Structure 1
Amino acid sequence: MDDSYSTHIAAPLDQELLYFWAIGDLHFRDHEQWKKLHTPRMAQMFDDLQTVWQEERRPAFCVFPGDLVERGALRNYELAKKQLAMYLKDMPFYPGIGNHEYLPEEDENAPHGIEEFVSTWAVPIRYAWLAGEDEGIVCIMLEQPDWFFPDRYELNMDVVFTPEALAFLDETLTAHAGRTAIIFAHCPLKNTVLDRDPVRNLDDDSLTRFFFVENSPAVRDILARHSNAALYICGHTHSGWGSPQLIHTETLGSHPLTHVNLMSPWYTGFHGPVKSDDDQTLVYRSDDPDMLASFAVHIYPQKAIIRVRDHRTQQWLAQWEVPSV
């Protein structure tokens, strides 16, 4: 008998290792007109989620990879924290920082950094945690880079993962080589989720500047070297239902990696809150179709099952089965 062995017993192929819920950009904002439009959609989604979790079972956690707030003022974080505590009750959740967390409010004249994010959620901007059966899965949260140039009050429209973020990704995947890895980030990699109709330009997509990671080749090089990298889950584009490659599997190195783009429950496409004709109030302009969607993710030893639910109709829309190794 070989003296080298592991106390980790491989799970049967049909045994679920982890079940969690992934939710796209929420954009909480402590603004009265905003809340009148925003709160009913959030309540409808979370009410339906609680129903699903009671009828099926509770997931291990929820994850929100960025743009939890519309702008980075502390009052918006406080609202988001209060509302999520009410909606999720004691459900654990993992937040990420998106581009909107850096934006100032209308009554502010300087961008925000990471301080409000870190102090509100008590996590760093990039971090990892273990999950699932026998902690056999490592989850990695990467940060959206600062939306502003460091030396001037001007938006930087090139999304470039920092050397520190790339090193963290590489080192964490190496340290947990025996675990299935799920990567969360706000921004998609290039040439993943696409526009529903490029001629009419219905969506931001991963071929449009600012809506893909500029150094995607460097990210893919890292992921290609680590066969445990299984899923890359992101948001940012507010892609509408029917967007090509919303769920997209590619081969990196010798293994598959699946990209999951989370539709925003707040709005999809170029819709959502807009000024009224008299410029006095906010009104909500719906996409077609107007989906209020979030994603259930089930991880098995050799596959992942991803389900998307529309909370407006309280119906499951679709299910994908993708490789997890």
Structure 2
Amino acid sequence: MLIAQITDLHIGTGNDIGAEDNYHRLLAVFETLSKLKRKPDVYIATGDLTEIGSVAAYKLLKQMIDEVNPGVPVLPCLGNHDVTENFKKVFGKTHIHEGFCQYSVDLGDVWLVVTDTHDETIHGGAFDEARADFLDRAIEEANGRPVLLAMHHPPFVTGIDWMGARNYEEPWLVQVRDVIKRHSNVKKIICGHIHRTMDRPFAGSSCIVSSATAAQVHLELAAITSSTADGRPLIVDEPPGFALHWWDGREFVTHHGVAGDFDVILEYHDRFRNVMRDVFHVPE
């Protein structure tokens, strides 16, 4: 199984949302993925689908999904820039349970659980007892099968403090951690929000953060303060990114990619077939 993760789309940053950079950056990601010989079986969009949660932006996103990926499911997750009520007006209530975008999907070999860490008034993430209870039950429903858990906010301190949690003992982090620690079948946690790739062990599992389809956050781990503006870059025009999570039957292998047209240095032509067989041991 091949799962494509897109995150932090931020559609709707201007009045003409069909002409904005984020719209074209997402199209570039879809185009790159569509050119793969092995195409994704499913897409997971891990939050910040829109910039301000407008109905118009959700309508444009739905149109893009319907046109670019016909027949390939795109499973949503909401982030701090999203507005649940407007999301429901366009995408319906299928993925909304108990007031949050939280649900589970049987993907065959893998059980997908999407949990909701967003609060429209809090940038750095939120969770509570009700969501923790839903997450616990959703993982239990897997009956021991491998679980892929998707959420918008990384449930740990990333080192880019202005973007996320600052203290490992923040209550919402502890609640997420306590639920996951109870389940040894959570194979991988995938997140967005930080607009950079990163990974770390978490609660007996491993957590992967994908880069954004929108612009990226500058890589800088020095502390930042509100008292001194030091001129550092904050957002940079790095290429739009995505992640591919390949389930090999036992574990997830994650690959990070960027969209764009790049010069080809080497192509696989007939003269390389013997090299592939004899040197790289590629089967006939």
Structure 2 unaligned segments of length 5 or more: list them: 220-233, 264-284
CA pair 261-158 structure 1, distance change in 2 beyond 3 A = closer
Q: Does 1:177 align with 2:134?
A: no
Correspondence for 1:143? 116
SS of 1:188's equivalent in the other structure is: coil
Correspondence for 2:134? 168
Decide whether the 8 Å contact of 2:210 with 2:256 is kept in 1: no
Correspondence for 1:9? none
Correspondence for 2:205? 257
Q: By how many angstroms is 1:32 displaced?
A: 1.7
**CA distance, structure 2, for counterparts of residue 50 and residue 158 of structure 1:** 33
Q: By how many angstroms is 1:33 displaced?
A: 6.9
Of residues 106, 117, 125 in structure 2, which corresponds to 1:130? 106
Aligned structure 1 segments of 4 or more residues deviating by more than 6 angstroms: none
Decide whether the 8 Å contact of 1:27 with 1:68 is kept in 2: yes
Correspondence for 1:41? 25
TM-score by length of 2: 0.76
CA pair 28-138 structure 1, distance change in 2 beyond 3 A = same
Alignment of 1:1-325 (within 5 A): 18-29=1-12, 31-32=15-16, 35-52=19-36, 55=37, 57-102=38-83, 114-122=84-92, 123-124=95-96, 125-131=101-107, 135-148=108-121, 156-157=122-123, 159-191=125-157, 193-195=158-160, 204-208=162-166, 214-239=171-196, 246-250=198-202, 252=203, 256-269=204-217, 287=236, 290-313=238-261
> What code does the residue aligned with 1:50 have?
S
> What code does the residue aligned with 1:310 have?
V
Decide whether the 8 Å contact of 2:17 with 2:57 is kept in 1: no
> What code does the residue aligned with 1:126 have?
Q
**CA distance, structure 2, for counterparts of residue 212 and residue 296 of structure 1:** 31
**1:208-237 CA-partner distances (Å, limit 9, x unpaired):** 48x997421221111111110111111111
**CA distance, structure 2, for counterparts of residue 314 and residue 306 of structure 1:** 22
Q: By how many angstroms is 1:314 displaced?
A: 5.2
SS of 2:180's equivalent in the other structure is: helix
State the Cα RMSD in Å. Answer: 2.7
> What code does the residue aligned with 1:159 have?
G
> What code does the residue aligned with 2:258 have?
D
**CA distance, structure 1, for counterparts of residue 89 and residue 170 of structure 2:** 26
> What code does the residue aligned with 2:103 have?
Y
SS of 2:76's equivalent in the other structure is: strand
**CA distance, structure 2, for counterparts of residue 90 and residue 177 of structure 1:** 28
**CA distance, structure 1, for counterparts of residue 259 and residue 123 of structure 2:** 33
Decide whether the 8 Å contact of 2:199 with 2:207 is kept in 1: yes
CA pair 32-136 structure 1, distance change in 2 beyond 3 A = same
SS of 2:200's equivalent in the other structure is: strand
Q: By how many angstroms is 1:176 displaced?
A: 1.7
Decide whether the 8 Å contact of 2:65 with 2:74 is kept in 1: no
Decide whether the 8 Å contact of 2:7 with 2:45 is kept in 1: yes
> What code does the residue aligned with 1:287 have?
V
Decide whether the 8 Å contact of 2:128 with 2:175 is kept in 1: no
Structure 1 unaligned segments of length 5 or more: list them: 1-17, 103-113, 149-155, 196-202, 272-284, 316-325
**1:291-310 CA-partner distances (Å, limit 9, x unpaired):** 32111101133321111111
**CA distance, structure 2, for counterparts of residue 33 and residue 160 of structure 1:** 29
Decide whether the 8 Å contact of 2:192 with 2:209 is kept in 1: yes
